[in-house]
Structure 1
Amino acid sequence: MIRTNITIGLFGFGVVGQGLHAVLERTPGLRARIGRIAVKDRNKARSLPAELFTFDKQDLLDDPSLDVIVELIDNADEAYIIVKQALLNGKAVVTANKKMLAEHLPELIELQRSTGTPLLYEAAACASLPVIRNLEEYYDTDLLDSVEGIINGSTNYILTAMNRDGQPYADALAKAQRLGFAESNPALDVEGLDARNKLVLLLAHAFGLVTGPEELLAVGIDCLSPLATAYAREQGLAIKLVAEARRLPNGIIAAAVLPTLVAPSHELANVHDEFNGLVTQSGFADRQFFLGRGAGAFPTASAVLSDLSALTYGYRYEYKKIQQNAHLSLAPDAAEVDVLVTFEDEANVPDESDFTVVHEQLRSAQRGNYLIGTIGLGQLARATWLRLPGVCVVRLACPLRAASQAVGARPAIETELVNEISR
């Protein structure tokens, strides 16, 4: 349904909600206004008139004058209740809640189909980057081979501070928290879970593969070791938290979130601070690169604004690739990856039998312990040593690939690495 005017019921008036209000004030051509705002904190001072606010979600969900619900709260469970009821009530929804979407995507896709009501979520993927709609529309019939990217601005800010500025992890995290790029409890970001939720959305729109976040391996940056960062410096590489989804032969998709060594020639090597970057590889359009801010009030609000604009001309996601690519499946046991594993002591040593090939290793109380090997993606996810204290896993600078395409031995690094560590 085409809308010439939009009256918004807004849930949440935090950083992004206030950013949305500001950009709407500066975009009169959209003909959209906020009719009511639902908030939780009764004691917080507000910059807008008190009569605009309510503490009862039903005041928005049951109000026939509000035709679009914009959900910008940080509680995924409550967001799910709001979004589901809004769709059932026939109200279009715009949301930025990637955790809620990732955990309920199959049901929400079916709700859109059964109610005929659109749910848009460009802001949930990469903030200001127009990723979802491009995957949905521009690559509508172009066979995508892969998408890989830095899709969490908080971790990228931390890694930039560590790599470019030489800050220890704890100091970089503290600074990110002071600047508002990381939450007071940063686990969702630094453990790779936020990027994993976004990867669920990218899989649906890039390949038509609908899966849950628990099906994807996610390793964060919270366990990075000095040995791994020294190896990256010695090799002239940058460590980035990279989410990748790749089409393999025989209708298989491999996908994971891993700290990854990125070569200077790679587009993602130059994505710094809170920026996001996404590289697509396709059969016809070849290689394309998206770059933009992945965090902050205005970048996220700009994506919400774009979705509101799309609603004015009746836009909705069609999910055509779900029908086109019904033969695709997620099969981590059919994919493998090359990794550097560092570990602090013999109690946490990786099980060599988990690896397809062990290319090299060193165990030294003075020099540190590491292993470089090729391992199946599924086996890595199941490895009992993966989450042990003192264990760090970093993907080497090569893509996910089919298990039959193991690469040869890696260059020896012991002498250079030891020299770097001893400095």
Structure 2
Amino acid sequence: MTSQQKINIGLFGFGVVGQGLYDVISQSPALDKAISKICVKNKKERGLPEELFCYDANDILNDPEINTVVELINDSQEAYQIVKTALSKGKNVVSANKKMIAENMKEMIELQKKHNVSLLYEASACGSIPVIRSLEEYYDNDLLLSVTGILNGSSNYILSKVFDHNKLYTEALKEAQDLGFAEADPSFDVDGFDSLFKLIILTMHSFGVVINPDEVLNYGISNISDFDIRYAREKGFKIKLVGQVERLRDKKITLFVLPRFVARDKYIYSVEDEFNGVVIKGLAYDKQFMFGKGAGGHPTGSAVLSDITALMHNYRYEYKKANYFEGFNYFKDGAIEIYLRYNHPDVLKLIDFQSVSEAYQGPVHSYKIGFVKLSCLIQKKELLRNNKDLFIAATGKSLNY
């Protein structure tokens, strides 16, 4: 596609983000009327001409006039079929489906190469923050040390209400659901899956490694208790749900998603409500901080629009870290320091502490703080997540081997 060629868009999905994209495109003179078809599941009044909508994916995928597909649906399996078919037919694609991309990253890279097309997905990680493009272009060297951040706006909104407004977790969750920040089943957000898939994508663009999400620790905030909140406050911390990928010695990296005690002097301490914040650390430039709305129709729609505009200029990800630098290996046996709050001592059988720096036994709640191998937590992550009598948070300390 040349930069002079008019982009003709087939849009899948017209929910919050789809409508947000339509709004921002309507305000862009260069792309006004660029959307020629919108594929949705059901007929209903949407305030737009009926002839703009279709109900069969093939109406877009088989249309030779449509050269760009924008996929903004929730179902990751359907999204996979749409994106795979579109790329195979020689159409460029923009997607916001982080689960689909993270679970099929290797295949998506191969499809782009095979069919000489581009798949862009800036909106899949951190909404309006251009973190993927920054990692691809600005941090396209071998000096990157870590990427750490609040990657999920829903869980951050809940924790903000808990720590800044003294609300109960259940009360804050209900408020997030009422405002549309959290789904009726909030587990995708509050149990760290959303952050996990975003972290997988960021890891690829940071260090050039494709990692299976099933092999990474993700543990969220759904088991947090008033005891944990009081403990954090007494120590001068807030609890944030944080994703991190870090470079270790000997071309190794480690990554995980965990609640974390965050001190006032950290950049992400002040990231509140539905906002995201990402700290990029490098060997020569120390720390860079990126901040912005991580959710919402217009912020996410603007990230999609940025990708569409990039396609007009023939942009594609080069996956420079994977292609031009010596490969990194995912290392699971490093140790991180965790806070484990438990209500019954049998829980301690699940976790093999290598060392303990602090312990407390109370009539109802007890806790231990010490170093545990990441591999131990990965192996037990389902048991830990489903056990409502415990809560785990990272202290931020690690033993880098």
Quick check: 1:150–1:277 contact (8 Å CA) kept in 2?
Answer: yes
Q: Residue in 2 aligned with 1:386?
A: 384
Task: Provide the C-alpha distance between the structure 1 equivalents of 2:221 and 2:26, rounded to a whole number of angstroms.
Answer: 39
Ranges in structure 1 where 5+ consecutive residues have no aligned partner: 404-423
Using the aligned pairs only, state the percent identity: 46
Quick check: 2:142–2:325 contact (8 Å CA) kept in 1?
Answer: no
Q: Residue in 2 aligned with 1:418?
A: none
Instruction: Write out aligned runs for 1:24-423 (5 A).
Output: 24-30=25-31, 33-42=34-43, 44-333=44-333, 335-351=334-350, 354-366=352-364, 368-383=365-380, 386-387=384-385, 388-398=387-397, 400-403=398-401
Quick check: 1:122–1:132 contact (8 Å CA) kept in 2?
Answer: yes
Cα deviation, residue 184, structure 1: 1.3
Cα deviation, residue 32, structure 1: 5.9
Q: Deviations over 1:67-121 (max 9, x none)?
A: 1000000000000000000000000000000010011111001111111100000
Cα deviation, residue 30, structure 1: 3.9
Q: Deviations over 1:161-195 (max 9, x none)?
A: 01101111111111001111111111100110000
The secondary structure found in structure 1 opposite 2:250 is helix
The one-letter code of the counterpart of 2:339 is L
Task: Provide the C-alpha distance between the structure 2 equivalents of 1:139 and 1:127, rounded to a whole number of angstroms.
Answer: 19
The one-letter code of the counterpart of 1:395 is A
Cα deviation, residue 365, structure 1: 1.6
Is residue 21 of structure 2 the alignment partner of residue 20 of structure 1? Answer: yes
Ranges in structure 2 where 5+ consecutive residues have no aligned partner: none
Task: Provide the C-alpha distance between the structure 1 equivalents of 2:288 and 2:231, rounded to a whole number of angstroms.
Answer: 29
Cα deviation, residue 198, structure 1: 0.2
The one-letter code of the counterpart of 1:361 is A
The secondary structure found in structure 1 opposite 2:128 is coil
Task: Provide the C-alpha distance between the structure 2 equivalents of 1:125 and 1:401, rounded to a whole number of angstroms.
Answer: 28
Cα deviation, residue 2, structure 1: 2.4
Cα deviation, residue 31, structure 1: 5.6
The one-letter code of the counterpart of 2:23 is A
Q: Deviations over 1:315-348 (max 9, x none)?
A: 0001011123443111111x11111100112333
Task: Provide the C-alpha distance between the structure 2 equivalents of 1:30 and 1:283, rounded to a whole number of angstroms.
Answer: 40
Quick check: 2:158–2:172 contact (8 Å CA) kept in 1?
Answer: yes
Cα deviation, residue 381, structure 1: 1.7
Task: Provide the C-alpha distance between the structure 2 equivalents of 1:237 and 1:282, rounded to a whole number of angstroms.
Answer: 25
Cα deviation, residue 226, structure 1: 2.0
Task: Provide the C-alpha distance between the structure 2 equivalents of 1:3 and 1:68, rounded to a whole number of angstroms.
Answer: 13
Moved over 4 A (4+): none
The one-letter code of the counterpart of 1:391 is L
Cα deviation, residue 380, structure 1: 1.8
The secondary structure found in structure 2 opposite 1:162 is helix
Quick check: 2:2–2:314 contact (8 Å CA) kept in 1?
Answer: yes
Change (3 A) 1:401 1:30: farther
Range with greater deviation from structure 2 (30-39 or 47-56): 30-39
Task: Provide the C-alpha distance between the structure 1 equivalents of 2:77 and 2:12, rounded to a whole number of angstroms.
Answer: 14
The secondary structure found in structure 1 opposite 2:8 is strand
Change (3 A) 1:32 1:148: farther
Quick check: 1:208–1:324 contact (8 Å CA) kept in 2?
Answer: no
Please, what is the CA RMSD of the aligned residues? 1.4
Cα deviation, residue 142, structure 1: 4.5
Quick check: 1:343–1:369 contact (8 Å CA) kept in 2?
Answer: yes
The one-letter code of the counterpart of 2:53 is F
Task: Provide the C-alpha distance between the structure 2 equivalents of 1:313 and 1:2, rounded to a whole number of angstroms.
Answer: 7
Q: Residue in 2 aligned with 1:407?
A: none
Change (3 A) 1:186 1:192: same
Task: Provide the C-alpha distance between the structure 1 equivalents of 2:176 and 2:99, rounded to a whole number of angstroms.
Answer: 21
Quick check: 1:6–1:32 contact (8 Å CA) kept in 2?
Answer: no
Q: Deviations over 1:284-307 (max 9, x none)?
A: 322100000001000000000000
Task: Provide the C-alpha distance between the structure 2 equivalents of 1:232 and 1:249, rounded to a whole number of angstroms.
Answer: 31
Task: Provide the C-alpha distance between the structure 2 equivalents of 1:29 and 1:163, rounded to a whole number of angstroms.
Answer: 44
Q: TM-score scaled to structure 1, two decimals?
A: 0.91
Count, aligned residues: 398
Cα deviation, residue 225, structure 1: 2.1
The one-letter code of the counterpart of 2:143 is L
The one-letter code of the counterpart of 1:56 is D
Quick check: 1:348–1:389 contact (8 Å CA) kept in 2?
Answer: no
Cα deviation, residue 279, structure 1: 0.3
Q: Deviations over 1:208-260 (max 9, x none)?
A: 11112112100001011222211110011110000000000011101000000
Task: Provide the C-alpha distance between the structure 1 equivalents of 2:327 and 2:90, rounded to a whole number of angstroms.
Answer: 33
Task: Provide the C-alpha distance between the structure 1 equivalents of 2:390 and 2:260, rounded to a whole number of angstroms.
Answer: 15
Quick check: 1:142–1:284 contact (8 Å CA) kept in 2?
Answer: no
Cα deviation, residue 356, structure 1: 1.1
Q: Deviations over 1:343-401 (max 9, x none)?
A: 1123333456x1110122222225x2111111111112224762323110011133x44
Change (3 A) 1:278 1:215: same
Quick check: 1:8–1:32 contact (8 Å CA) kept in 2?
Answer: no
Task: Provide the C-alpha distance between the structure 1 equivalents of 2:204 and 2:269, rounded to a whole number of angstroms.
Answer: 26
Task: Provide the C-alpha distance between the structure 1 equivalents of 2:297 and 2:350, rounded to a whole number of angstroms.
Answer: 45
Task: Provide the C-alpha distance between the structure 1 equivalents of 2:71 and 2:3, rounded to a whole number of angstroms.
Answer: 19
